[in-house]
Structure 1
């Protein structure tokens, strides 16, 4: 009797342990019987199942991350962009999720969700009102929210909630980068040429104004000098006239000395004149003059 009791206890204990399972607070659990869903366990704690007939399938109830493949999109301005995004999602309805993906589980669900996200990214970023500048500006936040809402609608049939969608990077394709850089360099060179041209034009205006100022200043100075010289000549003539009126002989003598000074300059001055010339009258002796 004892040798039958011990094995029976062992079998019963094994069956008891096989019928008990623990539901973690981070999980959703389905109890399946021959592939059919018999129970859903979402509350943490101990639960029971029929050993060997029923099985337990566990799904993560936390928010999960998914990186999408890099794809190319063409906004309305025809500038192609390479887009890399990631999403955060969670399993909302375990029953619907099981019915949608079957034994493929999370891997199959993520493949389908990735296809949904890529389709929504192309649709939103390729809309008529969306340009590459819009994607690269602060408006990309609204674009990401739009992608999330549309992806959520499509993913609802998988029993998933799309919590968030983010665009990690938006770059130009490699074959377009060099052309873009060349265009940027050309634009900067054109701006530099415009600045140089404007600077040269301003310099020409400044030089022209300075030249005109110099010319006007020299002209005014020359005019004032002519006036001063004229006034001096008039004053000199008046003095000469006054002196001539007082002593004509002395005036003639003084004028002759000035003429000698101007005519006899340098070390080897030569003059040719007739013997009876009056130019050297004041240098002749008194006998000769008489």
Structure 2
């Protein structure tokens, strides 16, 4: 009798534990959840925390609420000028409406990605169809130059990573209504040119750069000639002005010297002659003079070599 009662108590406790375990569930911070009753959604977007449900009557489905990435395979698109490019891209998406997401995909993440991928491909195809190949190549060149300048190139080939605003916004609006997910970003990881296009593009780029270089050189030569002509004109004007000023100063100096010499001559004629002869001796026999004079010893040029008054010295 006692053993039967103990078994009943144990059974009751086990049932109570099962009911308690089946009645409680936890939604983590990184999850989104919905409550179902026989497959029908009765509570959508359950907040994180501890919650209760009816055992056997309710089921709970949880989904990853974090930002997820869809790495699309590289696709071949045609540009506006009918040139092919190979684009490698990925998508950032997130569940925002668990009920719509469950109804559209049955909570299967792979099914959601299969529904998102072709729509991303369509948007990118339309976007690249609006671009010229030259614009895309120019963007690649800028990206490669920036990577080289920052010294952080990840691959040998140039890569382009930019936010495609219009495709992202268009696809986000569509996916919110259809799948209950938000498209946060569409990014282009890499753009390559097919082998049949690359050589022609590079040749055209080379010729365009060559033409630009020639134009810059021609403009530089023209500007250099203009600067040189302007400098020569200024130089000639400055030299002419300097010569004019020097001639004026020299004339004033000569006039002043003539006045001084005239005054000296009127005050002492003999001293003036003597002083002028000494200057002549200095200029003729100085260290810097290479002149050669052939004169008679009794020439007037040497008269002051004979005596202070220019007379021959008397014999002893």
- Please report the TM-score for the alignment, with normalisation by the length of structure 1: 0.59
Equivalence for 1:123: 126
How much has 1:187 moved relative to structure 2?
Answer: 3.4
Correspondent of 2:168 among 148, 153, 171: 148
Correspondent of 1:101 among 102, 105, 111: 105
Task: Provide closer, same or farther for how the CA distance between residues 169 and 142 of structure 1 changes in structure 2, counting only shifts above 3 A.
Answer: closer
Structure 1: where are the runs of 5+ without partners?
A: 199-290
Task: Provide closer, same or farther for how the CA distance between residues 177 and 51 of structure 1 changes in structure 2, counting only shifts above 3 A.
Answer: same
Matched, 1:48 2:52: yes
CA distance in 2 between counterparts of 1:133 and 1:177 reads 12
Q: Any idea what SS the aligned residue of 1:52 has?
A: coil
Correspondent of 2:40 among 36, 40, 57: 36
Matched length: 192
Q: Any idea what SS the aligned residue of 1:161 has?
A: strand
Q: Any idea what SS the aligned residue of 1:57 has?
A: strand
Matched, 1:171 2:174: no
Q: CA RMSD in A?
A: 3.1
- Please report the TM-score for the alignment, with normalisation by the length of structure 2: 0.54
Q: Does the 8 Å CA contact 1:152/1:162 hold for their aligned counterparts?
A: yes
Equivalence for 1:92: 96
Task: Provide closer, same or farther for how the CA distance between residues 188 and 72 of structure 1 changes in structure 2, counting only shifts above 3 A.
Answer: same
Equivalence for 2:143: none
Structure 2: where are the runs of 5+ without partners?
A: 141-159, 219-316
How much has 1:38 moved relative to structure 2?
Answer: 1.7
How much has 1:137 moved relative to structure 2?
Answer: 4.6
CA distance in 2 between counterparts of 1:59 and 1:185 reads 50
CA distance in 2 between counterparts of 1:56 and 1:145 reads 36
How much has 1:171 moved relative to structure 2?
Answer: 1.0
Q: Rg larger in 1 or in 2?
A: 1
Equivalence for 2:114: 111
